[in-house]
Every structure is written in C-alpha cells, then in structure tokens.
Amino acid sequence: MPRIALLVQDPDTARRLELHLHSKVYQVVVLQQTSSALGMLYADPPEILLIEITEAEAGDTKAFLEELKHDSYFSMMPIIGLLPNSLVSPEQLERYPLDDFITYPINYPLLLSRVALAEQRIRRILDNNPLTRLPGNTSIQIAIERALGKPLAVCYLDINNFKPFNDTYGFSRGDEVIRMVARIINNAVKEVGGSGFSGHIGGDDFVFIVPLTQAETVCRTIIENFRLVVQDLFGDREKDNGFYLAKNRKGGVEEIPLLGVAIAVVPTDGDRFKHPGMISEAISELKKQAKKSAESAYVIGRRKR
C-alpha cells in the first residue's frame, strides 16, 4: 500500500487521521513542521501527502508546496490539502499547488475516497522508476520534446563496467549503486535551479536535462561525487590497483576496471533537432566517445572532456 505523509500541527487531528488511514491499511508517517518536513520527505519519500493549510501559516505552506512541486522527485506526488472554509475560493485555491482538498470538519469517508482516487491516479500516470523514484520513460520523452529548440542540454549517463560489478558483488550491491547514482544526479541537477530535470530510463541508464550554460558544471559535479562514492565500494587493494578480479563469460578470471560514468551531452538550442529520435542518434555516437576513456568522462558535441 502507498505510504502517506501527514503534515498536521494538531496532535489529536493527526492521531485521528492516522487511525482512519491505518483502517484502510495505508502506511502513515506523521510530520508536524514544514521547517523539518522537507528533509524528512527527501530522506524517506512518501507516495501521497496530506497537508494542513491554515491562515496563520499560509505563506510558509505555499513556499513549502512550491518547492516540492518544482522538484523532479516530487512533482508527480499527489498533495491533498486540509483547509478551513475561509480558504476555499477560486482565488485562494489558485495560490497552492494542490491536487485535491477537503475542508474542516473532516468527513473521513470522503477523505478516504479522495485518497483512494489519488492512489489510482498516481498508478495510472506515474511512471517513476520503482528503484530510484526518478521519472521514467514517458516523462523523459516529454521533457526531451520540451527541450527541443531551447538553450538546454540533454545528457545521457550510464555506468561503465556495471554488469560485471553486478555479477561479481550481487544484485543488492548493484541496486545500491543505481540508487546512489540517482541521488548524485538529482542533487547535482537540483543545484542549477527549477529548470533542471532528471530521469531514469532503467538499469544503469539515466537522462538529465539542464541549462546549456550549466551542463559542464553539472557533469563535473556528478563525476566528482561518483568518484567519492566509488571509494566506499571497493577495498584498498582494488583501489590501489584500479581494478578487481572477476570471472568472464568463459569462466576465466580477468581484471575489471573500477566503476566510472560516461555522460553524453547534446545541446538542444537552435533548429538542428526536429524530434527526440534525432537526439537519441546524437547521444549514441557521443556515448561511444565517452566510454573510450578508462575513467569517468563526459563528451559535449564534438568536444571531449
């Protein structure tokens, strides 16, 4: 069942909400302050958010919701507002990026129905990768289409030598690497502001889109942060050697280089690209160049970095 976060100040109200949601077998986490809630949501993201909006805290709540909705990680998460009647008007509701709302006093059967509908909507429209929670192929396709002709860069990333690492160290270690890379990408993209996008195609393949002027900075940040993460994946001997020993498909032992990332960067400004398929063709060629390097590398256009 989906995990639901409650951001409600009154403990009694939060307790009643939690009991009703538990009655429908929802998992519930209770938060109490917007100032600390954002960090908790990033640390352990829910699927649905129920948030109380009061006249006294309207400004802080609005800023909190806008930050959530501008983040690729949470942009598709349903947010249901709990409002007093005084805030229910077209003018007032336009201020908050809500997906649904219910007024006080709470009609709990109605609220549970709204939650169930939100759950159905999220299952239909959310294509986020279940491992990393980043947007998947449908969202990536839309983001690339929107980038065409704009001063942006579509960047494709995959992990060098990931399959032998997965085979040697196990799928759970491989999944953790995938999650770490997702966090590294998402955090680096977030640093450039609201125009960034990060998505997960599947496996060790990712796409992120950033302003063209920031593309090199983001690539360098990702590579440096990944380099630091790799230090924790291998022992001192492997790090000193720059490789680890693993069996190949023929059963022999060979030296496998430590993990790295290859990033292909395609600028989308101008009228060079007419449709996303042309972007894919350009990425394919650039990726081959990036993967020639023994270490992490990125390639922009015809220029290798």
Per-residue confidence (pLDDT) for residue 126, from 0 to 100 = 65
Residues 189 and 228 in one domain: yes
Position with higher pLDDT, 244 vs 263: 263
Return all residues near 205 (Cβ < 8 A) that are at least 6 apart. 156, 157, 158
Whether residue 56 has pLDDT greater than 80: no
* 131 inside domain: no
Average pLDDT over residues 291-299: 89
Question: Does pLDDT of 304 surpass 50?
Answer: no
Same domain, 142 and 245: yes
pLDDT at 124 (0 to 100): 64
Same domain, 251 and 146: yes
Indicate if 67 and 171 belong to the same structural domain. Answer: no
Whether 254 and 151 share a structural domain: yes
Tell me what pLDDT residue 305 has: 42
pLDDT at 275: 86
Domain around 256: 137-304
In-domain check, residue 132: no
DSSP 133-198: ----HHHHHHHHHHHTBSSEEEEEEEEETHHHHHHHH-HHHHHHHHHHHHHHHHHHHHTT-TT-EE
Confidence of residue 274 (pLDDT cuts 50, 70, 90): confident
Query: What value does the mean pLDDT take over residues 237-243?
Result: 88
117 plus 143 within the same structural domain: no
Residue 172 pLDDT exceeds 70: yes
In the listed set 101, 125, 149, which residue is the last one of a domain according to the structure? 125
Of 125, 148, 177, the residue at which a domain comes to its end is 125
pLDDT digits (tens, 9 = 90+) for 58-73: 788 888 898 888 887 7
Q: Encode pLDDT of 276-290 as tens digits.
A: 889 998 999 899 999
Number of domains into which the chain is organized: 2
Residue 290 included in any domain: yes
Mean pLDDT of the chain: 89
| 72 and 93 both lie in a single domain | yes
